[in-house]
Structure 1
Amino acid sequence: MILIYTHKITPRIRYIFKHILTRILLIPVGFTSKVEEFVAHNGPKISYTKTALGNEFFIKSHELLFEQGVNDLEINIQKWDNVPCFFATNIKSAIPFDIFAASFYLITRYEEYLPHVKDIHGRYTAEQSLSYKKGFLEKPVVDIWAYKFLEILKKRFPNYEYKNRNYEFISTIDIDNAFAYKYKSLIRSIGGFFNDLFKFRVFDIWNRIAVITNLKGDPFDTFQKLLRFKKEYNVKTIFFFLIGDYTTFDTNVSASKEKYRLLIKEMVDYARVGLHPSYFSMQDPSMLKKEKDRLEGITNMPVSYSRQHYLRFSLPETYQHLIDLEIEEDYSMGYASNVGFRASTCTPFYFYNIDYEIQTPLKVYPFALMDTTLNDYMGLTPKQSLGKIRDLKNEVKAVNGTFITLFHNESLSDYLRWKGWKRLYESMLKIATS
């Protein structure tokens, strides 16, 4: 155990020291604000305060972890070796930056509590974030800082027994549209037919008729392929099912359709299944509860995992709604427009609610990339996407983090906008598991 001395033990200090030391570096940690207890401790110890007590391992503290609420902070990005960092310390400090305060700022999404302009879907945009502006969005800097800190710890406390954590990969699949044409209502099928006709999409009209009349399989029905890959590559896979009522943004098959319900039940037998709360559930906790109850009614199991549709969430309200419904894990932490690390970490972390100044029981699993980001937003080819996937995986592997990807069943279809993308998912699995 490492003992931390600080002049005032705050919830923020407990939260971020445990995240960096215990969750990332696997080092148990204790806290004290009594100088005599700190001096008497024989094991490794660190003082985190304004001035050093003596010649101990000292880190000069930034004010952030002793404050409450949010303030508009001035952030000056500098380099620690070649890694961007901020909140510089002084020459007496064992490390040149207060990585604990800096990590707290990034992981809690402190900047998302400050006034900002939302996009057309009511989302915080990557372009407004510090990591995007300063060019480190694609680096899990919190984990990189932790490992640089570990090297300094090992030199100061060489006899301590340090543990190594293992790299992990999680594949997550969003089911926005389980089927392209099958099991849709008559009105939707007729509407879709006339829409294709109006736009002279002859190929789509033929496919629609062929699928509905069972001459062809539904192109979006790639579930057996996904299960086969899960087994073949021994990959932890989570399926997030959209089962909200039909809206402009929620166009999945109705949850009342027996075939869709059977599909969900089948997935539960082979993989983990979570909720994909519908577009408007972000502002409506009663809608979120209705959808959670609906999924539990289908699976006969409590729903523990969630990812917001369109990645629409607002901090801290959306996460508080999930906590109120006893959701344990959320997988929404990422941007639709950019790949990378929204919270600057590739380590799952507990959501810290700055409004209440408490660590909550909701564990946040940040993802590194999404198929629609690569295709629709960045306009990359499958080959270029593979290079981007490899780069991100290498960043995570370098710090033994958790590499999480977000794909859709549609992107394996080789159909419409996914023409030519059929093999990308399996290629990604090969890279992620190698």
Structure 2
Amino acid sequence: MLLVYSKKITPRLTYTFKHFFTRILNIQVSFTTKVEDFIAHEGLKLTYGKQPLGSEIFIKSTDLLFEQGINDLDIKMGEWDGVECFFKTRQDASVPFDIFAASFYLLSRYEEYLPHRKDQFERYPAEESLAFKYQFLHKPLIDIWAYKFKSIIEDKYPTYTLSDRKFKFISTIDVDIAYSFKHKGVVRTIAGYLKDLSKFKLIDVWYRTMVIFGFSEDPFDTFEELITYQKKYGIKTIFFFSVGDYTTYDKNTSSRNSYYQSLIKSVADYSEVGLHPSYFSSKDEAMLQKEKLRLESIVNRPIEKSRQHYLRLDLPETYQHLINLEVKEDYTMGYAAHYGFRASTCTPFYFYDLEYEIQTPLKIFPFAVMDGTLKDYLKLPNKQSFEVIIELANQVKKVNGTFITLFHNETLSNRNRWRRWKKIYIDMFKKLTTVA
């Protein structure tokens, strides 16, 4: 166990230290404000303050973990053995910057509470973030800091045995549109025909007809394949289903459709399922609740996982709504237009509500890359897209973290813009398989 001495123990301090030591390094941590207890402790110990008490590990603190509320912080970037850092302090500490204040700043998404320009979908854009501006978005920086800090502990306490965690891979599937042609209803089906004809897409007209009359499989109905890959390669897969009302941004099959309900139930028999709340639900708790109850009534069990449609996340409001509705896990933490680590960690963490200054029970699972980011936003060729995915996975492997990808059921259709993307998905599983 690691004993931490600080003159004041705050919610920010305990939150950050527990993520850094317990969740990343598998080190249990406790805290004290009593000098005599700290001196008497014979195990691992660390002082977080303005000066050390003895020869223990010492981190010089800045003010961030002892403050409340949001302030405009002056951040200047530096380096620690070739790794980006900020909140520099002095060289005679064990680390030349306040590693815990910097971790809290990134983990709490402090910068997202500060004034910023939103993108066209009212999202916090990657370009506004410190990680993008200083080119460390592709790194799980907090985990990298933690593993470097682990070496300091091992040097200081060579007889203490540290246990490593294991690399994990979670594949997540967003079901924005379950079917390309089937189960759309008469009005939407006729509209689809007219749209194809107006653009002279005669092949699509023929394909649509073949699917509707049951002569061909719907190209977006890839669920059996996805479940097969999950079983074959032993990689956990989570499906997020949208059941919201039809809008400009929400175009899935109606949640009242019996075929769609059967699909959700059948997937839930083999994989974990979560809610994919509709576009406008990020600021509307009543709408979120309605959709959660809909999905629960279909699968006949509580829904505890969620990911916002379009990745629309408004801090802290969206997360407060999820907490009120007893959602336990959220998978929205990532960017649409850029790959990488939005919270600079590849370790699931609990949401810290800066508005109330508390650690909440909502666990955040940050994803590293989305199919649409590579194909639609960055317009990367297939080979380069696969290389990006594997390079991000390798970054996570170095710190034994959790690598999470975001794909869609339609990505495996191998049609139109998703041509040959099924191979990318399968090759990713082969490369990262957990099966011996």
Match of 2:353 in 1: 353
Worse overlay, 246-255 or 206-215:
206-215
Worse overlay, 88-97 or 58-67:
88-97
AA paired with 2:159? N
Query: How far apart are residue 55 of structure 1 and its match?
Result: 3.0
* Cα distance in 2, alignment partners of residues 301 and 11 from structure 1: 34
Q: Return the TM-score normalized by structure 2.
A: 0.98
After TM superposition, the structure 1 = structure 2 runs for residues 136-175 of structure 1, keeping only pairs within 5 Å, are: 136-175=136-175
Match of 2:368 in 1: 368
* Cα distance in 2, alignment partners of residues 338 and 182 from structure 1: 32
1:374-426 C-alpha deviation (Å, 9 max, x unpaired):
10011011111111011101000000000000000000001122123221110
After TM superposition, the structure 1 = structure 2 runs for residues 146-225 of structure 1, keeping only pairs within 5 Å, are: 146-225=146-225
* Cα distance in 2, alignment partners of residues 393 and 97 from structure 1: 28
* Cα distance in 2, alignment partners of residues 114 and 93 from structure 1: 30
After TM superposition, the structure 1 = structure 2 runs for residues 238-317 of structure 1, keeping only pairs within 5 Å, are: 238-317=238-317
Query: How far apart are residue 319 of structure 1 and its match?
Result: 0.3
1:318 is the counterpart of 2:329? no
> Any idea what SS the aligned residue of 1:423 has?
helix
Query: How far apart are residue 201 of structure 1 and its match?
Result: 1.5
* Cα distance in 1, alignment partners of residues 97 and 360 from structure 2: 27
* Cα distance in 2, alignment partners of residues 91 and 251 from structure 1: 56
Query: How far apart are residue 175 of structure 1 and its match?
Result: 0.4
* Cα distance in 1, alignment partners of residues 390 and 253 from structure 2: 34
* Cα distance in 2, alignment partners of residues 89 and 369 from structure 1: 34
1:411 is the counterpart of 2:411? yes
Query: How far apart are residue 192 of structure 1 and its match?
Result: 1.1
* Cα distance in 2, alignment partners of residues 46 and 220 from structure 1: 54
1:357-377 C-alpha deviation (Å, 9 max, x unpaired):
000000000000000111001
* Cα distance in 2, alignment partners of residues 109 and 200 from structure 1: 48
1:99 is the counterpart of 2:103? no
Query: How far apart are residue 97 of structure 1 and its match?
Result: 1.7
Query: How far apart are residue 337 of structure 1 and its match?
Result: 0.3
Superposed CA RMSD in Å reads 0.9
1:144-167 C-alpha deviation (Å, 9 max, x unpaired):
000000000111111222111000
Worse overlay, 11-20 or 87-96:
87-96
% identical aligned pairs: 59
* Cα distance in 2, alignment partners of residues 38 and 74 from structure 1: 33
1:269-303 C-alpha deviation (Å, 9 max, x unpaired):
10000000000101110000000000000000000
* Cα distance in 2, alignment partners of residues 226 and 89 from structure 1: 50
> Any idea what SS the aligned residue of 2:269 has?
helix
* Cα distance in 1, alignment partners of residues 48 and 321 from structure 2: 35
* Cα distance in 2, alignment partners of residues 432 and 312 from structure 1: 29
Match of 2:50 in 1: 50
> Any idea what SS the aligned residue of 1:36 has?
helix
Structure 1 segments unaligned to the other structure (5+ residues): none
After TM superposition, the structure 1 = structure 2 runs for residues 319-334 of structure 1, keeping only pairs within 5 Å, are: 319-334=319-334
* Cα distance in 2, alignment partners of residues 387 and 89 from structure 1: 37
AA paired with 1:173? I
* Cα distance in 2, alignment partners of residues 431 and 87 from structure 1: 38
* Cα distance in 2, alignment partners of residues 125 and 430 from structure 1: 32
* Cα distance in 1, alignment partners of residues 31 and 433 from structure 2: 38
Which runs of structure 1 show a deviation greater than 3 angstroms over 4 or more consecutive aligned residues?
A: none
1:4-50 C-alpha deviation (Å, 9 max, x unpaired):
00010000000000000100000000100111111111211111001
Query: How far apart are residue 195 of structure 1 and its match?
Result: 1.2
* Cα distance in 1, alignment partners of residues 32 and 356 from structure 2: 23
Match of 1:60 in 2: 60
AA paired with 1:189? T
1:291-330 C-alpha deviation (Å, 9 max, x unpaired):
0000000000000100000000100000000000000000
Q: Return the TM-score normalized by structure 1.
A: 0.99
After TM superposition, the structure 1 = structure 2 runs for residues 109-124 of structure 1, keeping only pairs within 5 Å, are: 109-124=109-124
1:166-203 C-alpha deviation (Å, 9 max, x unpaired):
00000000000110010001101111111111121112
> Any idea what SS the aligned residue of 1:326 has?
coil
* Cα distance in 1, alignment partners of residues 109 and 201 from structure 2: 44
> Any idea what SS the aligned residue of 1:422 has?
helix
AA paired with 1:330? D
AA paired with 1:281? S
Match of 2:24 in 1: 24
* Cα distance in 2, alignment partners of residues 370 and 15 from structure 1: 29
Worse overlay, 56-65 or 256-265:
56-65
AA paired with 1:333? M
> Any idea what SS the aligned residue of 1:337 has?
coil
AA paired with 1:428? M
AA paired with 1:47? T
